[in-house]
Amino acid sequence: MHKMRALIFGAPGSGKGTYSARLQDRLGVDVISMGDIFRNMMQENSILGRIIKRYVEAGLLVPDPIVIEVLADRLANMPKEKSFVLDGFPRTIAQAEVLEKITPIDVVIELAVPDWIIIERLSSRRICKNCGAAYNLRFMKPEVEGVCDRCGGTLYQRSDDNPAVIKMRLELYASETSPLLRFYETTKVPLIKHTTDQLEMPPEKVVDYIEQELKKLNLF
């Protein structure tokens, strides 16, 4: 088995975080979530963390040079042979071209989920204020209502998890990601696509499928 370098694409609420975490448990891959890295940096309140916070709080995307610097640093500090799944980058063709110079990519994982399922899922999503764990009031409930199973933190609903904002986020995702998927198609990077057709799709079923497809490509 050689080192696997994967990208995971999916709209907000498609399950990227859930499936990546399970792949980490099963296959020992490192999950690099740009959102998580930025949240940690903002909490640490470093100079760069404060700069990132200004963009995030203004509802703006963090500029490419900062994102690329943070990602390159994260990859440089990883064990050389460690496989990884990158979530939340690239978002543009320009970022994808820079990423190619930093590291080759072996496979793209796409989670295709219909809008109606995402709107239903995100409207009932709750997040832990303390550790960021995600729950769903329909099919991934916490053991105690409003309390995180992991750390006992308080669960809350994100302000952008309402149907009108979700629709806007889905439109933005579609316009950003379609060109990226075409870019990786032209560069001949293999694609693993999982299409969800039911609201309460068991996470294990999706992860089983992704793992089987990775094995077919001799990546695991």
16 is catalytic: yes
Q: Burial code of 158-196, b = ≥16 C-beta within 10 A, e = fewer?
A: eeebeeeebeebbeebeeebeebeebbeeeebbebebeb
Neighbours of 2 (CB within 10 A): 10
169 is catalytic: yes
Find the catalytic residue in 22, 121, 125, 126: 125
Find the catalytic residue in 22, 91, 121, 126: 91
Find the catalytic residue in 26, 39, 74, 169: 169
150 is catalytic: no
Q: Are 167 and 119 in contact (CB under 8 A)?
A: yes
> For tokens 């978002």, what's the residue?
91
Q: How far is CA 172 from the centre of its chain?
A: 15
Q: Are 199 and 138 in contact (CB under 8 A)?
A: yes
158 is catalytic: yes
Sign of CA dihedral 115, 121, 123, 128: negative
Find the catalytic residue in 16, 22, 121, 126: 16
Exposed/middle/buried for residue 23 (C-beta within 10 Å: 0-12, 13-18, 19+): buried
Find the catalytic residue in 82, 158, 205, 215: 158
| Catalytic residue ranges | 16, 91, 125, 158, 169
